[in-house]
Amino acid sequence: MPDPSVAAPEGVDLERLQPFFAKHVEGASPDRPLTAELIAGGKSNLTYVITDGERDWVLRRPPLGHVLPTAHDMSREYKVLSALADTDVPVPRTYAFCDDDAVNGAPFYVMERVEGQIPRTAEEIARLSKEEAAACSRELIDVLSRIHAVDYEAVGLGDFGHPEGFLERQVRRWGEQWERSKAGELPAIDELARRLRAALPESGSPTIVHGDYRLDNTMLAPEDPTRVVAVLDWEMATLGDPLADVGLFLVYWAQNEAQIIATGDGISADAGFLSKDEVVDLYAERSGRRVDELDWYVVLAGYKLAIIVEGIAARYRMGKTLGEGFDHMGEMVAQLCDGALAIANASSIPALRG
């Protein structure tokens, strides 16, 4: 049984998890009590370290409130991680999935705890030398290219998404999410949606799309920040246009408001990281894909991120977030929209300029 002297963080029921772990999780025992700790940094799904004193695991579950339809799908995240286990994409090993809400109040899955570092703050990022920052940049793009090179049919993900009409569906569905989360009207969101629909590009061959790929969602080796040992947070993964991943990566990489949400404000060429143009050129080289309409994907990313942040702000307003750093989320939404409109206004794509 769990140790009654140790209070569990909100979101985990150790008394009910104990028999589930003993039955379904490799290495767990009914005789060793479990304890849990919420891992700081997550602003969406909740992530906990579960330990029995001898072994550690990681448990992922949805947020406590205001869960949008199609978001926070634990089964999808578990499925893609399991499918990638034998590929050259570094991911944690999965152990068990549970869709019975009676066990822990919501679906969850259990995976291995990978040892490594996740630079989140400007101070942590600044510890990288310029040479390490440049090498880390190249590694991030290499890993992203490897994700997009996976034969999704061969690893059992042929039914993981519907690539046809992916981009149009992204614009429409995120607009629907906005309607469910918004605190008030924001004309910039409507204008972004209008321009995105007007300038919809034609997608190339589909791939696995991570959906939220950035430095903060990868884990670097404990003593080597130039090597990614795990790609994390696959909750929005699907099949579709891989340039959607590149667009979002660039928004996080180059725009201060987005970096605050993810990794602080320390990603810059001055610190040794690749510039935005160098990132684009390297991805084009590694992937062999055309990137001439990438502006559209960057604008889509800003639109999507603004809506995600509004959803986070909505959970904060309801008192349903765990952790810190949520109190300024609402004001970031307008800033992200303004940044996306600025990119659209300067684009070489006529319909995107409005």
- Min mean pLDDT across 29-38, 40-49, 255-264, 267-276 is at 255-264
Q: Is residue 257 part of a domain?
A: yes
pLDDT beyond 60 at 3: no
Average confidence (pLDDT) over 296-313: 90
What pLDDT does 71 receive?
A: 53
pLDDT beyond 60 at 318: yes
pLDDT beyond 70 at 253: yes
Please give the C-alpha separations between residue 278 and each of 132, 138, 272, 354, in angstroms, as whole numbers: 16, 9, 12, 28
Q: What percent of the chain has pLDDT over 90?
A: 71
Which of 79, 112, 145 is at the close of a domain?
112
What pLDDT does 122 receive?
A: 80
Same domain, 96 and 175: no
Average confidence (pLDDT) over 141-153: 98
Same domain, 28 and 149: no
What pLDDT does 66 receive?
A: 47
DSSP structure string for 228-288: EEEE---TT-EEE-THHHHHHHHHHHH-HHHHHHHTTT---GGGTPPPHHHHHHHHHHHH-
The model's confidence at residue 334, banded by pLDDT at 50, 70 and 90, is confident
Handedness of CA 183, 187, 191, 192 (dihedral sign): negative
Average confidence (pLDDT) over 259-268: 53
Q: What is the dihedral of CA 142, 163, 263, 257, to 10 degrees?
A: 130
Same domain, 305 and 164: yes
Same domain, 131 and 280: yes
The model's confidence at residue 349, banded by pLDDT at 50, 70 and 90, is very high
What pLDDT does 204 receive?
A: 93
Same domain, 91 and 135: no
Same domain, 104 and 154: no
147: Cβ contacts below 8 Å, ≥ 6 apart: 89, 207, 208, 210, 213, 231, 242, 245
Distance CA 343, CA 101 (A): 43
The model's confidence at residue 41, banded by pLDDT at 50, 70 and 90, is very low
Same domain, 165 and 293: yes
Q: Is residue 157 part of a domain?
A: yes
Average confidence (pLDDT) over 33-49: 82
CATH number at residue 36: 3.30.200.20
Angle at 125 between CA 74 and CA 136, to 5 degrees: 75
The model's confidence at residue 126, banded by pLDDT at 50, 70 and 90, is confident
240: Cβ contacts below 8 Å, ≥ 6 apart: 161, 163, 166, 167, 170, 203, 206, 207, 209
Q: Is residue 72 part of a domain?
A: yes
- Closest-CA residue to 268 (of 141, 130, 140): 130
- Min mean pLDDT across 27-41, 155-169, 292-306 is at 27-41
Tokens, residue 223 = 């003593």
Same domain, 203 and 274: yes
pLDDT beyond 90 at 248: yes
Distance CA 197, CA 201 (A): 9
Same domain, 167 and 208: yes
329 neighbors 309 (Cβ within 8 angstroms): yes
Q: Is residue 105 part of a domain?
A: yes
Angle at 8 between CA 30 and CA 263, to 5 degrees: 115
Q: Is residue 66 part of a domain?
A: yes
Same domain, 328 and 297: yes
pLDDT beyond 90 at 271: no
Which of 64, 88, 112 is at the close of a domain?
112
80 neighbors 160 (Cβ within 8 angstroms): yes
Q: Tell me how many domains the chain contains.
A: 2
CATH number at residue 130: 3.90.1200.10
pLDDT beyond 50 at 278: yes
Which of 112, 131, 162 is at the close of a domain?
112
Q: Is residue 42 part of a domain?
A: yes
Q: Is residue 325 part of a domain?
A: yes
Same domain, 254 and 191: yes
pLDDT higher at 163 or 258: 163
What pLDDT does 316 receive?
A: 66
Same domain, 128 and 106: no
Average confidence (pLDDT) over 49-62: 95
Q: Is residue 134 part of a domain?
A: yes
Secondary structure of residue 221 in the 3-state scheme: strand
What pLDDT does 186 receive?
A: 86
**What domain range includes position 147?**
122-353
346: Cα separation from own chain's centroid? 27
